[in-house]
Amino acid sequence: MIVQLLYKYYILTITLTAILLGLSSCTESIKLDTDDTDPVIVIYSTITDELTYQQVQLSSSTGYFDGNKNAKVSGATITITSDKGDLYNLEEVHNTPGIYKTTTQMAGIPGENYHLKVMVDFNNDGINETYEADAKMELPVKLDSIDISYEKIAKYHYYSFNIYAKEPAGTNYYMCKYIVNDSVYDRISKYVIFDDLSYDNQYINGSSIGYFFDDTERDEYKDADDYNTMTFIADGDVVKLQLSNIGKGFYNFLLQCQEEKDGESPFFGGPLSNISTNIKGGGIGYFAAYSISQKQAIAKKEQ
């Protein structure tokens, strides 16, 4: 079916080579694939170079075959420390269990390392457990511009988003997020991730890294298996693209999340089987740091 082939092309062209990559030495593999697995704490946090209240999410895993959402974890003491000694305390957001934010705004600095420390009595034995993780904010790769071209495969149309940027020497891994008409698509299943195997130390001159589907043809896709994960845009929509240089460990984590049944962060669903983590102390999840380069373009059918 051309609909399914088009969508599979969208995913496979970006991630096929990355599937063969091993995990980085700073991660370990956690396998949680039975319904009688004891709950473990799930920690998910990303900090960026944007000045904002940075966030940490805590939850408790469910059984792999349990369809329930993860229970949120409250009452934790959380800090983020830079390698320069800057200390940031986090507090739980009122009426939002499991969500913690820095008490002051914070902007990460490219090239710096950050340390996350979470203390909480997860197993309710009266003694706090300690979970820690480290993340380096990679140097940014600057987007020069983006454009959106209107393409056709058989009778179906789609919008291809294309980037222009100088790719630095050495092995790098990238994540793209997008915002359509100020609606943020901030779910792991919506991220575009890729390595620089085809671009190392070259200028990326309008290479297509992903696709949006034509909103006027939405009904044609309703029987597709992946319909709920597709993104549709219309002529005239404003699309902002955020490019981030991420580490290999976080890249592998995102890739594995996308390969799971729901393609989401473990914070929002059951535990992921055989998922990599950089959380020390018995937890799962990930702590990452990255910078953001953003450009925008308008989708147009007539080029």
Q: What is the pLDDT of residue 31?
A: 41
Average pLDDT of 245-262? 87
* Residue (of 117, 58, 53, 55) closest to 82 by Cα position: 117
Q: Where are the domains of the chain?
A: 2-18+140-248+292-298, 25-138+265-290
Give percent of the chain with pLDDT exceeding 70: 80
Give φ, ψ of 200 to 5 degrees.
-50, 120
**Token code pair at residue 217:** 């043809």
What confidence category does residue 62 fall into, taking pLDDT thresholds of 50, 70 and 90?
low
| Higher pLDDT pick, 214 / 271 | 214
Whether 24 shows a pLDDT value over 80: the answer reads no
Q: What is the pLDDT of residue 1?
A: 41
Q: What is the pLDDT of residue 15?
A: 29
C-alpha–C-alpha distance, residues 86 and 227, integer Å: 45
| Higher pLDDT pick, 68 / 172 | 172
**Token code pair at residue 218:** 């939405």
Whether 58 shows a pLDDT value over 70: the answer reads yes
Q: What is the pLDDT of residue 267?
A: 52
Is the CATH number of domain 2-18+140-248+292-298 2.60.40?
yes
C-alpha–C-alpha distance, residues 148 and 303, integer Å: 9
C-alpha–C-alpha distance, residues 117 and 113, integer Å: 13
Average pLDDT of 218-245? 92
Q: What is the pLDDT of residue 261?
A: 53
Specify the pTM: 0.82
Same fold, 2-18+140-248+292-298 and 25-138+265-290: yes
What confidence category does residue 235 fall into, taking pLDDT thresholds of 50, 70 and 90?
very high
- Of 101-115, 132-146, 194-208, 250-264, minimum mean pLDDT range: 250-264
- CATH dotted code for 25-138+265-290: 2.60.40
244 vs 120, 134, 141, 222, CA distance in Å? Answer: 31, 18, 7, 32
34 vs 16, 40, 63, 259, 279, CA distance in Å? Answer: 28, 13, 7, 18, 21
Average pLDDT of 150-165? 93
Q: What is the pLDDT of residue 214?
A: 95
190 vs 161, 206, 207, 230, 231, CA distance in Å? Answer: 14, 21, 19, 8, 8
Whether 10 shows a pLDDT value over 50: the answer reads no
C-alpha–C-alpha distance, residues 91 and 55, integer Å: 9
| Higher pLDDT pick, 153 / 150 | 150
**Token code pair at residue 39:** 């709950």
C-alpha–C-alpha distance, residues 93 and 107, integer Å: 19
Average pLDDT of 241-261? 90
Whether 18 shows a pLDDT value over 80: the answer reads no
Mean pLDDT of all residues belonging to the chain: 84
C-alpha–C-alpha distance, residues 281 and 276, integer Å: 14
- DSSP code per residue over 22-78: PPPTT-EEE---STTPPP-EEEEEEEESSSB--EEEEEE---TT--SPPEE--S-EE
Whether 216 shows a pLDDT value over 60: the answer reads yes
Give φ, ψ of 211 to 5 degrees.
-140, 150
